[in-house]
Each structure stands twice: as structure tokens, then as C-alpha cells.
Structure 1
């Protein structure tokens, strides 16, 4: 086989392998076990093919380098795919320096489900909000909060289990606005 073609093939196999590995891990973490298991079969076959080509030609350092560079590129491609598919939901806890429901009302007007309550911080009364949003809208939520309340403190976590409530009915009915 042409040495340049071999380097390119090894590079591409490595990218595909690592990308599939990243997607499989995301699917597993989001509860898509059977899909992740199916993907892992393809992932292993591709990895063995790539490693086989490298090991068959181990004396050619460019093949090893190609595999390693492809691996790194696969990490980048995998993370870009993760950003695009953005499975699941995020729960954001927001602490507003103002003890008013102004921020809660504005976020509700934009289609977010918000639960709020009065809290006490280091410098006195505050308003805490809990907001659930699809992972695809996470950055938009942060941007909206920053625009509406630049001094707000925000902490977010992935939400694995969700049951009941106003927001779930809204999302399942696809009535949440995409403003």
C-alpha cells in the first residue's frame, strides 16, 4: 500500500474511533444503553483495524504519529458532536442579589419553567431560582440571565431524572418558546 495513503487511512480511522467513543460515552451517560452497546461494537472493530495497520507497519513512525494525531483530532470532533446533539437537561440554580420576583417573571415570559423562593446570603435577603432547560438551550439561558441580571450567581448541573411538573408538560407538548 502507498505509504501516504496508509497514513491518511490510519488518521481517518483514529478520528472515527475516538469520535464514536465520545458519542458512545454520551449515550451511556444519558441512559441510551442499548444504542451505546451497538455503537461500541462498531467502535471496537474500527479501533482494531486502525491498530492493526499501525502494528503491521510499526517500523514506520509516521503511522504511529498519524494514529496519535487522529486520536487528538477525534477528541475535538467528538466534543463538537457532543455540543450539537446536546442530549438531556440542565438544572440551573440562580441566586439574584435582588429579593424580588422580577427575574423569575421575565424568565417565565421567555418560556422557562422557574421555581423561586426567598433565601439569605452573606449580604442579606436574596432570591433563588431553579430553572430546568434542555441542554441545547443551556447557553441561551446563561446569556438571558446575564442580560437580565448581570450580578446573578449561577450554578448548573446535568439532570438525569425528571418527573412531573409544569415544565415537563410544556416541553413534551413542544410549546416552549425558542426566543
Structure 2
């Protein structure tokens, strides 16, 4: 019974985590479908615990399964890597070859010259699917190991030459 409750809660919370992230990223219909499965799993697991409230080990298994489910759900979301990120890169030297090299690899790059505390800098803004995030970081670090990199998730994307590809989810496919 303990193992069943533990496993059910891992599955439930993993579904819950993935569903929440899908909802936040705008995948409403998939999130709704996942929530139906999640609810059935939750009711079965909670029912098992409530039927055996006198058994403290069942409550402990429920709590441990919940915590484990959060970790596993987060790992699943990392593997799915839904959505896009915007990466801002600031290099210490003005190098016009760097944006071109990134464009040649398929990234959309907007670049400009900026001024830092110690003089001129080259700044780039790059939109990429999250699945390409680590590859982009590796490419940037290979080209400029001292580059300053900041990334964030854009809430909305409008305009630019990638918009149709982004809306269809076909960027880098």
C-alpha cells in the first residue's frame, strides 16, 4: 500500500507540474487534457490515504511522493523545454563577426554597439527555442568565453521575421 500511494503521488504531482507549466506557456488544450488525467490519479491516491488514515506510513508515503513528484515534474519540463527564450549577450570587444556567425547558425540576432563602464561593448539580443538554449550558450562561450549572458522568457512575441515560424511552433525544426 505504501509503495502504491508513493507512486501514485509521484505521477499525480508530475502531471500537476507539467500541466501548470503548459498553462503558463499557452498550451491550454493540452493542459486541459493533462488535468483530466491528473484529477483521476489524484482522487485514487487521496482515496487510498483517506481509507487508511490510521496508518501513519501512508501519510508519510503521500508526502514523500508529493515532494518527489515536484522534482520529477520539473525534470520532465526541462526535457520538454517548451517555449522560447530571449538571450542578451554583451561582449567586451566590438566584434561584428560574432552576430554574423550566430546568424549563419540559424539564430535571429539583433545587435548594436553599447557603452559599458570600461568603454565600448557589443550587445546582441537573440530569440531561440528553449530546446536550443544550451547549444546557444555553448556557441557563444566558444566564440567569446568572457561574454556576459542574460536570458529570460518573453511573454509575447510580435513582429520580426520569425513570427510566423514561432506561432506555428516550427522554429528550428
Normalising by structure 1, we get a TM-score of 0.87
Q: What's the counterpart of residue 137 of structure 1?
A: 132
1:116 aligns with 2:111: yes
3, 7, 10: which is aligned to 2:5? 10
Whole-angstrom CA distance in 1 between matches of 2:171 and 2:19: 30
How many corresponding residue pairs?
172
1:157 aligns with 2:165: no
Contact 1:113 1:131 in 2 (8 A): yes
Following superposition, the deviation at residue 131 of structure 1 comes to 0.3
- TM alignment of 1:16-165, pairs within 5 A: 16-165=11-160
CA RMSD of aligned residues (A): 2.1
Whole-angstrom CA distance in 2 between matches of 1:71 and 1:94: 38
Q: Which stretches of structure 1, 4 residues or longer, exceed 3 Å deviation after superposition? A: 167-177
- Post-superposition CA distance 1:57-80 (Å, at most 9, x none): 122121111111211221122112
Whole-angstrom CA distance in 1 between matches of 2:24 and 2:113: 34
- Post-superposition CA distance 1:74-94 (Å, at most 9, x none): 112211210121111000011
Whole-angstrom CA distance in 1 between matches of 2:36 and 2:146: 48
Following superposition, the deviation at residue 38 of structure 1 comes to 3.1
| Worse overlay, 123-132 or 106-115 | 106-115
For structure 2, the 5+ residue unaligned runs are none
Normalising by structure 2, we get a TM-score of 0.90
Q: Summarize the Cα distance change of 1:144–1:23 in structure 2 as closer, same or farther, 3 Å threshold.
A: same
- Post-superposition CA distance 1:108-156 (Å, at most 9, x none): 1211111000101111110110000001011111111111111111111
Following superposition, the deviation at residue 102 of structure 1 comes to 2.2
Q: Summarize the Cα distance change of 1:18–1:176 in structure 2 as closer, same or farther, 3 Å threshold.
A: closer
Whole-angstrom CA distance in 2 between matches of 1:45 and 1:18: 12
Following superposition, the deviation at residue 7 of structure 1 comes to 1.1
Q: Summarize the Cα distance change of 1:103–1:13 in structure 2 as closer, same or farther, 3 Å threshold.
A: same
Contact 2:129 2:172 in 1 (8 A): no
